[in-house]
Structure 1
Amino acid sequence: MGGEPGGNLRELRGLHDEGVFGFKGFLLHSGVDEFPHLEPDDLADVLREIRAFDALMIVHAEDPQVIDHAPPAYGASYRDFLRSRPRGAENLAIAQIVELARRTGCRVHILHLSSSDALPMIRSARHDGVRITVETCPHYLVFTAEEIAEGATEFKCCPPIREAANREALWQGLADGTIDCVVSDHSPCTPELKRLDTGDFGLAWGGIASLQLGLPAVWTEARRRGHTPADVVRWMAERPAEVAGLSRRGRIAPGFQADFCVFAPDEVFVVDKDRLHHRNPVTPYHGRRFADVVRGSWLRGVRIGIDGPSRGRLLNRGET
């Protein structure tokens, strides 16, 4: 994946030709000074440029002006933090992206959708032929703002975890196909950056550690709502592979790579952060009960394990 922090339009075609899957940009401060955000005019220029070679633009969609005019986040109150990142910031940013994608014909992908308010707009855009795909994350499908305690900064992410009614609307968006896929958006944040000692949401780093827990988290909640393992496979394997352009991954079928796991869908376990394989044992899932214990994983037909040799490799666009 390539980055588009502005000012590198002339480099994008070369990166694409070398095999990057797409280009990521932020519409507000990324939290990292060396990756500045894109102004609307800059984003329009990028979309026009990469449309010429049919590349994909993926966007962190929050409007900076809405957030600048919201109450600032500080202290231990999650309610105050939620007010500092209102749904309107996502909704307005997504509206801008939809209009620019409509105007340029470029493919766009909305990262980590948390505001269900944007779903009707996305459905309407697709009906009009706008080439837009959307993802959400396990934490938006599992947690609710109402359950987050004072100072529980392990729950901080941007956009934030919202209310229970919003969560259910996201599930409906998955069920009807408005939301294409569920991805981890894993954040390997250290305990120090999470400010667990002070519980200050204004100072804590955002991001959820969930890479190891995504499948059981989504499956546990999905089956409560009447979904099947095939639905979860579509959301977490098939559609992500299609969006990324991995033409031989994401399905168990002749001609596809034999990447799969075997799991016990009814076996229950309790998450213990100290037993996770994450480098930094910080996760809001600690103490949560999930169904689905993974028995084994296979990569390209070879069984792999945590303690075995690494079998991963860097993939380029079009490579399987």
Structure 2
Amino acid sequence: MRSTRVVTPDGTRPAAVLVSGGRIEAVLPHGAEPPPGARLEDAGDDVVLPGLVDTHVHINDPGRTEWEGFATATRAAAAGGVTTLIDMPLNSVPPTTTVAHLELKRQVARGRVHVDVGFWGGAIPGNLKDLAPLHEAGAFGFKCFLLPSGVDEFPQLSPAELEDALRETARFDALVIVHAEDPHLIESAPRRPGRRYADFLASRPRGAEHTAIERLIDLARRLDARVHVLHLSSAGALPMIAEARRAGVRLTVETCPHYLTLTAEDVPDGATEFKCCPPIREAANRDALWRGLTDGTIDCVVSDHSPSTADLKHFDTGDFDRAWGGISSLQLGLPAVWTEARRRGLGLDDVARWMSTAPAALAGLAHKGAIEPGRDADFAVLAPDETFTVDPAALHHRNPVTAYAGRTLHGVVRSTWLRGRRIADHGTTTRPTGRLLERRTST
């Protein structure tokens, strides 16, 4: 793979990437002669980035495949430059909370994935004894909720159950990833059904995130546990996060494209495609999240692709209170983040670090996330200056709903490559060739 702009750990430069056996063998000068018998793929002036790693995807298969399935989700991922994803333990039925459920999910996924796929386990009331076996079976870590998840089969942990789970996972140094909103502050917030986005925003106050994260930091410090804050929405939590990390707390944090690119001021009343939890907040908050990202307080940017059928969004009434909370964006994360990053004077080196290198490190995927010798030959080829207008019907995820509909974005994904093989070309995907990954064998 050759281009005048290859994003490497040492910066973007003209280079030729030599691939052998699905791995990067060398990164050579742009004008280097290919070895005898090698096939040359010349990307010209398009940018070659490491394939994106998305560690927050709800595929919902089996059990809710009308919402999303492995074939459709991974096809969307491939078309959007994502080469590796980690599936959340809900909203599938059954959830990934036992080894048997993990094996069922692998059975359903096998032979149907266009990109490499791993699996998070879940920590719910009553499955403390299942966490170590799930870890040994290759789950990448454990997701939990501190308030109702939205589906009955994945209940939240009480404060005592959270402490027990963190004490247990610290014993074998596993990662716990947390939907951090305080249930009591959510319950006491004003809740007004209806079409007004301002009412929905008031029902998910910033303080709910702050209180939950503060409690999580305290537990992680006391138990020496590894914890990760999912989908950070409120920038007000950044100072306490930064202080905790300086003090040695083993804490990582993600945010999502929709928090970095959309604002509460721009959400029309009744437009429930914008509903997610925690919510999209004001423009000033968005700016502060970007500062947290650029100064390193926020580690990575991942999609939280959380789709549903259109009827669950209640477009007929536009009632934010009743609508399913989730943004469908798996195919659009790279251009969405790049559009806003370039506006702020940031580069594709930054985007690659946030959306590939850091998520790979979070999941322990040592052979993903960078264009350097020894890594998998996973690439996204991007035309960064070209634009397109988002048409939901043209996206590959199962239900044509997205908050980005009608938006003009910079960055057209020309092609996507998995272990040196092209898996998507101008949005058209090949047959599924992805692998199922395990924590211990994530190569």
TM-score (norm 2): 0.72
Provide the C-alpha distance between the structure 2 equivalents of 1:182 and 1:66, rounded to a whole number of angstroms. Answer: 26
**Contact in 2 for aligned 1:238/1:249 (Cα 8 Å):** yes
Provide the C-alpha distance between the structure 2 equivalents of 1:73 and 1:55, rounded to a whole number of angstroms. Answer: 40
User: Secondary structure at 2:310's aligned position in 1?
Assistant: coil
Is 1:177 the counterpart of 2:299? The answer is no
Is 1:40 the counterpart of 2:159? The answer is yes
1:73 positional shift: 3.9
Which one of 351, 372, 375 corresponds to residue 256 of structure 1?
375
CA distances 1:177-214 after superposition (whole Å, capped 9, x unpaired): 00000000001211100111110001000000000000
User: Secondary structure at 1:159's aligned position in 2?
Assistant: coil
Q: What is the count of residue pairs matched by the alignment?
A: 320
Is 1:312 the counterpart of 2:434? The answer is yes
Which one of 274, 280, 284 corresponds to residue 161 of structure 1?
280
- Between Structure 1 and Structure 2, whose CA radius of gyration is higher? 2
CA RMSD, Structure 1 to Structure 2 (Å): 0.7
Q: Percent identity?
A: 65
1:67 positional shift: 0.5
Query: Which structure: greater strand fraction?
Result: 2
1:261 positional shift: 0.8
1:276 positional shift: 1.2
Is 1:60 the counterpart of 2:182? The answer is no
- Segments of 5+ residues of structure 1 without an aligned counterpart are none
- Structure 2 matches for 1:264-275, cutoff 5 A? 264-275=383-394
Aligned AA for 1:191? A
1:264 positional shift: 0.4
Is 1:130 the counterpart of 2:252? The answer is no
Provide the C-alpha distance between the structure 2 equivalents of 1:17 and 1:274, rounded to a whole number of angstroms. Answer: 41
CA distances 1:214-245 after superposition (whole Å, capped 9, x unpaired): 00000010011111100000000000000000
Which one of 319, 323, 336 corresponds to residue 217 of structure 1?
336
Which one of 103, 106, 110 corresponds to residue 225 of structure 2?
106
Provide the C-alpha distance between the structure 1 equivalents of 2:126 and 2:315, rounded to a whole number of angstroms. Answer: 37
Is 1:205 the counterpart of 2:324? The answer is yes
CA distances 1:247-300 after superposition (whole Å, capped 9, x unpaired): 110001000001111010000111111111121000110111111001000001
Structure 1 runs (4+) greater than 6 angstroms displaced: none
State the match for 1:18 in structure 2: 137
User: Secondary structure at 1:193's aligned position in 2?
Assistant: helix
Provide the C-alpha distance between the structure 2 equivalents of 1:193 and 1:245, rounded to a whole number of angstroms. Answer: 35
CA distances 1:124-146 after superposition (whole Å, capped 9, x unpaired): 00011000000000000011001
User: Secondary structure at 1:315's aligned position in 2?
Assistant: coil
TM-score (norm 1): 0.99
Higher relative contact order (CA 8 A, sep 6+): 2
State the match for 1:186 in structure 2: 305
**Contact in 2 for aligned 1:73/1:201 (Cα 8 Å):** no
